[in-house]
A and B are shown apart, each in its own frame.
Chain A
Amino acid sequence: MTPFTPYIEYARKAFAREATYRIELIAEIGSLVLRVYLLRSLWTALYTHNVAPMGLPLHSMITYTTVALLMSLVLEVDGTRVIREKLREGGIAVDLMKPIVVPFAYFSDGIGQTLVHAAAILPSLLFALLLVHIDVPSLPVIAIFFCSFALGYGVNFFVNFLMNGVAFWTLETFGLQLIVRWISDLLSGQILPLSFFPGWFGRAVFALPFAAIYSTPLLIYVGIIPPAKWGAALAVQAAWLAATTGASYLLWRAASRRVVVQGG
């Protein structure tokens, strides 16, 4: 038994638990394919009737949108929802007594859940390819894209962690969390490229942590971030990862002193 064994076990348990919801997974693939169709129709209509923006022809736009949707299969999994549930039901007290580092355990739990949803990527991609053509960049671009995606996954995890951590102070956080989710969907570049935002706001959105989640990997994929700027782009993502990790650490330290019993 290595120090990692319990965490691998957490991930396996989460995988098994999440994998029982097969019908939901099929629904997820179905709704993704519908959205691929929807966005293909939307961008095709917009590009037909308007002047295309600089540097982003229709095929790049459709590639951007489709890859963003596939990424969302993984990124929309809220691996830290478990914190909120455990707080409500009191399980958190038991977890805190176990000889584990609790945030790591939750991270492993999140990884387990993510892997189930990652399994939906391949069938979704195959169905999507029936509807749209996706540009495939060269191998180095794909490799850097995955590095950037991994960093984005980390930032997304800790942003969720911070949101769920608020539940230590107020138990009703679900509505708040959905609000942040929609704002972040819009400002992360999942719905549209951040370069579409006008003026100073367009520059400001790139300076927010949300841009590290979708925008950076996607812009690398479609080639808007050229190889010369890869280093800088990944560095910014890494900085956000460090910042959100640090904030999560502080929040966790403050929060675990605050665990109160609320009966039931």
Chain B
Amino acid sequence: MLAAYLQYWKINLLTMAEYRADFFMWFGFTVVYHGSALAALAVTMLRFPSMNGWSLREMFFLYALWMTAHELHNALFFNVVSVPEYIREGRFDRFFVRPFDTLFQVLTVPSRTFPDGLILGIVTLSIATNVAGIHATALTILTIAAVVCGGAGIDLGISLFVAALSFWLIRVDTLRWIVMSLEQDFTRYPISIYTRGVRIVLAYVLPFAFMNYFPASYFLGKHDTAFGLSPEVGLLTPLIGLLWTALSYAFWNVGLRHYQGTGS
């Protein structure tokens, strides 16, 4: 299985070398996507220096933490998003006749995914850590790395859960859009700016706040004003990521047993 996985990345990298113009275009796309989000944040905070007690430097770290976790998820698990499409078009069934785990096969469909976003994320996070004045000891760096992996796990767990729902429901696009919007837009700001119901959703139901808000509060030594939790909860991220991935994988397997194809 490992050999097959390495082979998959080898093919990806060879494709990248072949379609160089494409690669640069998508790299530019990733840069502009995150760049315009950060630029909007910076311009806003020139006028309004305090975001519920968070400074621009701290907000930069908050964003970079989410960005890196999300890009790690995109680099390794992006294909999960395509599952509803595979099922709708009947392309999912071929995964049953091959001697590999179905999820593994979904993750290794060649799709020209390059880890460019991840590299950009790591660079941005390093800069942001510095800018935010976090003292970077070896232990801190390892903890941040663990949080990023945990964040990617949360991302994977939730997208796998939505994908698994499509074994029962043919159309999950609407749900997926709303979940994506909750993740991409709502994680940009400290959750303390939202009303209580939304905070609860982001902390306990779809725990996107553990991708960045709670761990960032911990690293920056800020008080959590959303729930008044102790800052150490931010260290739970890897555990929550693992838990969500495990539960979603179990749910995925239940879905697989239920799955009968759409007949297309």
Contacts and interface: CB of A to CB of B under 8 A. Distances in A.
The yes or no verdict on A and B being binding partners is yes
A38 B51 contact: no
B186 to A, nearest CB: 6
Contacts of A38: 185-186
A232 interface: no
B29 A23 contact: no
Residue among B28, B47, B178, B192 facing the most chain A CB atoms (10 A cut-off): B47
Given A172-B25, A175-B28, A186-B40, A42 B193 contact: yes
Contacts of A49: 48, 50-53
| B interface, size bucket | 35 or more
B32 A183 contact: yes
B191 to A, nearest CB: 10
Given A175-B25, A175-B29, A179-B32, A30 B177 contact: yes
Nearest to A29: B174
Interface in A2-26: 23-24, 26
Contacts, number: 88
B22 interface: yes
Given A34-B181, A49-B53, A27 B43 contact: no
A28 to B, nearest CB: 8
Contacts of B195: 41
A45 interface: yes
A192 B44 CA distance: 8
Nearest to A46: B48
Interface residues of A, number: 33
Interface in A154-172: 172
B178 A50 contact: no
A162 B28 CA distance: 20
B173 interface: yes
Contact of A26 (B48, B52, B53, B174): B174
B51 A46 contact: yes
Given A27-B173, A176-B25, A197-B43, A182 B33 contact: yes
A246 B50 CA distance: 45
Nearest to B192: A45
Contacts of B49: 50
Main secondary structure of the interface of A (DSSP, over half): helix
B182 interface: yes
A256 interface: no
Contacts of A47: 48
A172 B29 CA distance: 13
A183 B171 CA distance: 32
Contacts of B22: 172, 175
Interface string A193-234: 000111000000000000000000000000000000000000
A216 to B, nearest CB: 19
A35 interface: yes
Contact of B181 (A26, A31, A186): A31
B174 A23 contact: yes
B52 A45 contact: yes
Given A34-B182, A41-B195, A198-B46, A175 B26 contact: yes
22 contacts: A23-B173, A27-B178, A30-B178, A34-B185, A37-B198, A38-B185, A38-B186, A41-B193, A45-B52, A45-B192, A46-B50, A49-B50, A50-B48, A172-B22, A176-B25, A179-B32, A182-B33, A183-B36, A185-B36, A196-B43, A197-B43, A198-B43
Interface of B: 21-22, 25-26, 28-29, 32-33, 36, 39-40, 43-44, 46-53, 171, 173-174, 177-178, 181-182, 185-186, 189, 192-195, 198
Given A175-B25, A191-B40, A192-B40, 4 more contacts: A23-B173, A44-B193, A179-B32, A182-B33
